[in-house]
Amino acid sequence: MARVNIVERSFTKFLSKPPSVRAASRTIVLATATVVVGSGILMRLIDHKEYANVWVGMWWAIQTVTTVGYGDVTPAATSGRIVATFVMLQGIAFLAIVTAAITSTFVARATKAFRTEREEQETQLRQMEARFDELDRKLDRLEAALRGRDS
């Protein structure tokens, strides 16, 4: 239950204060690499029989974090399975954030055309202000001419 709360709370926090796409991409790649190396070493320490050396641990970690999961190496003890759960959730976060980063880049590319059009509109709006100035000046001149004749 507590673990679900942590997942939910950190996810909600992420959504309300989203980091920049580049920062998020950087963080997730580094975090995932750290999780692979760290959990590989941890598994070796927890279960000497299944994990003959650290490389077996990392081999297990990389296939778990990418959700491939061959099953040629699997944790049997409860402690190892708890570690595995975190590696699996890291895998989901990895896939989700990588996909989200690439998607938002594609979407931003697509909306670049919009940005150009918008800048054109802004230029048009600014030109209109110049037109207003011109009309103003002409009206002032007209009024001056009218009053000039009266005097």
Instruction: Looking at residues 60 to 99 of the shown chain, list those that interact with a second copy (rule: CB under 8 A).
Output: 62-64, 66-72, 74, 78, 81, 84-85, 88-89, 91-99
User: Who's near 28: CB < 8 A, 6+ residues apart?
Assistant: 93, 94, 97, 98
Cα separation, 113 vs 118, in Å, equals 9
Q: Residues binding a second copy: what is the number (CB under 8 A)?
A: 87
CB 87 within 8 A of CB 65: yes
- Contacts of a second copy in 90-149 (CB under 8 A): 91-111, 114-115, 117-118, 120-122, 124-129, 131-132, 134-136, 138-143, 145-147, 149
Site string (16-45) toward a second copy, x via CB under 8 A? x-x-xxx-xxx--xx--x------------
Q: What angle do CA 79, 75, 80 make, to 5 degrees?
A: 15
Q: Toward a second copy, which CB reaches closer, 42 or 63?
A: 63
